[in-house]
Amino acid sequence: MRGAVLQNRKPVRSALLCGVSAVACLLACGLGAQPAFAQAVELAPSVPAGSQMLLEADTLVYDNDAQTVTAVGGVQIEYGGNRLVAQRVEYDRKTRRLVATGNAQMVQSDGTKINSDHIDITDDFADGFVNALRVETPDKTYFGAESAERMGGVLTTFHNGVYTACEPCEDKPNKPPIWRVKARKIVWNGETHTVRFEQSNFEFFGFPIAYLPAFEIADPTVKQKSGFLMPGIAYGSKLGFGASIPYYFALSPTYDLTARGTYYSKQGFLGEAEWRQRFNTGEYSIKIAGISQQKPDAFDAGTVDSGPAGDPNKLRGMMGTKGQFAINSRWNFGWNVMLQTDKNFSSTYHIGGYADTVHRSEVYLTGLNDRNYFDARVMHFEVQESTPDKLANGDDSPYARDPSQPWVLPSIDYAYIPDMPLAGGQLSVNVNTRILQRDRLSRAFSTPYVTTTDVQRVSGLAGNSGRLTGEIEWKRSLITDGGLVVTPLLAFQGDVDYVSVSGSSLAAVNQMAANPAINTTADMRSSFARYMATAGLELRWPVLFSGVGSSHIVEPMAQLFVRPNEQYIGGLAIPNEDAQSFVFDASTLFERDKFSGYDRIEGGTRANVGVRYSGSYDNGWTTNAIFGQSYQLAGVNSFNSPDLVNAGAESGLETATSDFVGLIGATTPGGLSASLSGRFDEHTFESRRTEVKLAYSGDFPVSVSAQYAFIESQPLYGLPYDREEVTLGGSARINQNWRVFGSGTYDLHTDLITNKGIGFAYDDECFTYMMSFSENQTADPITKIRAEPTQSIGFNLSFRTLGDFGTSSSSFTE
């Protein structure tokens, strides 16, 4: 044999080593086995233009007679960021084949690792053979095959292949993973870009649980491809057992369609379809769903789901659309709109994205630039409920909430804070306008839902109303030599309103005014203008105390707001649409205007006085507290003046001297936190509102939370009875993968556990399993008669890279 032998450990460059392009061949062969649900891997390595090839080996043999080049001993070949390591690499220039043997490993530039004992492949990637192939991708997915062969540069066949996303056990590498897909033959077609699995089994903990004679998926080079998606199951006592199969249509890189068919054993076939389209500046979707109910009488009689007597609700459906687009870097436009044949269809059949109890249909435009913010929305709230809009006698049902929801046409908010200070202080401007249209009057009675009793609240007027509000505020903080922080404040708010309501609404307002518990006048204005000017002063004196291992800040604080009386109070003269929610506690003690919206404006001269405290300790503990009281010094107390919803009534602010409010809390570095907050009578210190929270989530494999809440009755505000409940929740991790969890709520007023649940879950890097059971039950707060309990069973299986199977809310009733 005539040849040359070189022995060294230095990189050797050689133009003759064109066959070392088998680095790419190896990738082409090995990575052809990667299924579409694993990370996409290129059929050939990505090599930058002009890359040079480097070879390093103990021995390099040139056999001119046999026309072979052989690298032996610790062979390393690097080319364009890709690296091949083997004990021996031989390139035959006559057959143009390359053979790598002895623990061959390819590390691709993206981190993918390919291992094989024997590789035999042509240098044009067209044909080849690989033994004992093993692939590990950067996202920790794994593939293996006993052998693989490539023919015609298009077809790659893997024999006895295995795929999984579970990491192999280090202690027991031969132990089966939690799940894997095994196939007798896997054929990758580079021309059609498909991967076909033949005679495949899905194994769970080494046991085959599903057999598929053949199935085909897209290869990693295809980002989307038409085909069936993971099926699902469902159960409902009114719907029956349900099984669904979705199908995905990959129509274009920018738009697609998903169709889903679900068959319920009681109600029949539910069809769904969702169209999605993407653009450079945004995206939108359209969803439709429909069913012809087979057994409407399976639902409770007299409900929306069953339909009225003699006219069953059979044909039901919906259409919804969502979208959001960026007009430019500052402005966004979007929508979320739902239409349905009846008000409860999407909730009953759990239509994805549209099943919320209260759905807000809206079209909006938003803008944000530095300190400027703009938001404009047209909205309508849809309450998905089973209660019909009408009673059997044709009268409006007092139990139905949806018909009294308004259209907001539109609501506009604008906020602006100038960059430059004004007189050394900060100026802020807010503008709000809203126009409402409501078809049905919303009112409540002294005895809930009993229309023959006195009207107690009118939360929504049938008709039209509108308001335009502008607010400007200036404030500046000054610090004296003694550390006193003095903040003067000036504010002005003005608005114009119009009201055009129905005769039934005016009658309801008159009836409310005549209620002996309210006893006021009714003078509903058709239009009016009002203003509120405020001069305020805030004094804060933070004092720092330092001790051994701790520091504390005690901050006495006082506010004084001087302003005229709120206009149009003392009678029922103006609507209240956006300031109906009202809670007085420690978080609102130092608010300039304690109402939650623009429709009510706090008036009169008021002082807020209290103290704030915070402490920190070297051991990691922190503590905080706030306590104080509010005083109506002059003028009419807005919180003692009735409006259409009695906001402020029995809130603790209706007297000249308010209730006390306070909060105290602590956290530890070990994950324990606790807080106590409440509102207490100004004379007896009796609790009017109390909330206690305790939680732990730290180093121990246990997390718990407990909460106690008490809210004293506020009959005029719509809370005719005390509310008192205890809620507990917890989760314990049994080991690295298993955990159990549970929760429960006990209503002390009705002596009933209103909801309880327990479950367990398993999770690791490739598989998650969860199963839970819960039960809910309600009771009438006055009669304490209990309703039938509702149980729910939920389970979910999640296989990483494959998908989810199951349902989280399989509900049924006894």
Give residue 813's pLDDT: 34
**How far apart are the two ends of the chain, measured CA to CA in Å?**
89
Res. 7: pLDDT tops 70: no
State phi, psi for 701 to the nearest 5 degrees: -80, 40
Give residue 100's pLDDT: 86
Structure tokens at 165: 């996303």
List beta partners, residue 85.
Answer: 76, 105
Identify whether the C-beta of residue 596 lies closer than 8 Å to the C-beta of residue 577: no
Q: How far apart are the C-alpha atoms of 762 and 796, rounded to whole Å? A: 10
Res. 584: pLDDT tops 80: yes
For residues 589 and 571, the model is more confident at 589
Across 564-671, where does the E strand assignment appear?
A: 571-572, 605-617, 622-634, 660-667
pLDDT digits (tens, 9 = 90+) for 436-479: 999 999 999 988 888 889 999 999 999 999 999 999 999 999 99
| Triad 25, 30, 35: Cα angle to 5° | 135
Q: Are strands 426-438 and 527-540 parallel, antiparallel or unpaired?
A: unpaired
Structure tokens at 737: 């993968």
pLDDT digits (tens, 9 = 90+) for 110-134: 777 878 888 877 665 456 677 788 8
| 3-state SS class at 125 | coil
Q: How far apart are the C-alpha atoms of 724 and 750, rounded to whole Å? A: 9
Give residue 126's pLDDT: 54
Identify whether the C-beta of residue 779 lies closer than 8 Å to the C-beta of residue 748: no
Q: Are strands 622-634 and 543-547 parallel, antiparallel or unpaired?
A: unpaired
The Cβ of residue 151 has, within 10 Å, a number of other Cβ atoms equal to 12
Identify whether the C-beta of residue 130 lies closer than 8 Å to the C-beta of residue 121: yes
DSSP 23: H
Q: What is the pTM of this model?
A: 0.79
Identify whether the C-beta of residue 405 lies closer than 8 Å to the C-beta of residue 359: no
pLDDT digits (tens, 9 = 90+) for 379-412: 999 999 999 999 888 888 988 999 999 999 999 9
Give residue 47's pLDDT: 55
Q: Which long-range contacts (CB under 8 A, 24 or more apart) does 705-713 make?
A: 705/729, 705/730, 712/650, 712/687, 712/688, 713/650
**Structural domains of the chain ordered from first start:** 3-223 (2.60.450.10), 225-389 (no CATH)
Q: How far apart are the C-alpha atoms of 707 and 694, rounded to whole Å? A: 6
Structure tokens at 283: 């995206």
Res. 275: pLDDT tops 50: yes
Give residue 543's pLDDT: 95
Identify whether the C-beta of residue 349 lies closer than 8 Å to the C-beta of residue 311: no
| Triad 781, 782, 784: Cα angle to 5° | 65
Instruction: Please name the amino acid found at residue 192.
Output: T
- Can you spell out the DSSP letters for 36-81? TTS----SS----TT--EEEE-SEEEEETTTTEEEEEEEEEEEETT
Q: Is the sign of the CA dihedral 578, 581, 583, 588 positive or negative?
A: negative
Q: How would you classify residue 140: left for phi > 0, otherwise alpha for psi between -120 and 50, otherwise beta?
A: left
Dihedral (C-alpha) 778, 708, 445, 448: value to the nearest 10 degrees? 20
Q: Which residue has the tokens 């960059």?
A: 419
Structure tokens at 573: 């003269």
Mean pLDDT for the stretch of residues 549-553 = 94
Res. 287: pLDDT tops 50: yes
